[in-house]
Amino acid sequence: MFYKRQNRGFTLIELIIVVFLISIMLFLYIPKFQEAVMFDSTKRVSRWIIGKVKALKEGSITNHKSYFLHIDLDNNRMWVTDELMSEEEMQNAEQQGFELPDDINLLDVEYPGKDKILSGRADIYFYKKGYSDKALIHIEDSSNKQLSFLIEPFLSKVELYEKYVEFEN
């Protein structure tokens, strides 16, 4: 006759092994995940700038209106307005703009053949026909890592440099 064993669940040894394996996986992968996705401010700011420039170039053609990317170097803030906004809508857009994290600083904005804008506000124009001003936006994180974003007039792609680059004189 066959002995029928009752199914009572997992043994203590099986549970300890599973908890141990899960602990090892968490120990190895959580720091990498946090660094790569959750807490990297420079990546968040980079995605915002690159995505916003692309959207403004496409939107200017689609909506047949000019847009302006405003960069407030003193307050670490960026926002978008368009040519048809009222004064009240422009103020509202500024208040609801993208505020850079505390560990990221806007260094300057540079246009070819002009002086760098180191303080105050810089504006990058996106015209109705889909082109924009050529400009470089420079940022720096708390570990002094500098990034440069090159906005080309006729390309929707923003060129990202992981160093401080300037226009050649």
- Work out the average pLDDT over 27-38: 65
Return the minimum-mean-pLDDT range out of 9-13, 20-24, 61-65. 9-13
Q: What is the pLDDT of residues 129-168, one digit of tens each?
A: 989 999 999 999 988 999 999 999 998 889 999 999 998 7
Question: Can you list the domains of the chain with their CATH numbers?
Answer: 41-161 (3.55.40.10)
Average pLDDT in the chain: 89
- What is the spatial distance between Cα 81 and Cα 25, in angstroms, rounded to a whole number? 47
The better pLDDT of the pair 169, 85 is held by: 85
Answer yes or no: is pLDDT of 60 > 90.
Answer: yes
pLDDT of residue 38: 47
Q: In what order do the strands lie in the sheet with 158-161?
A: 104-110, 135-141, 146-151, 158-161
Side chain identity, residue 48: W
End-to-end CA distance of the chain: 95
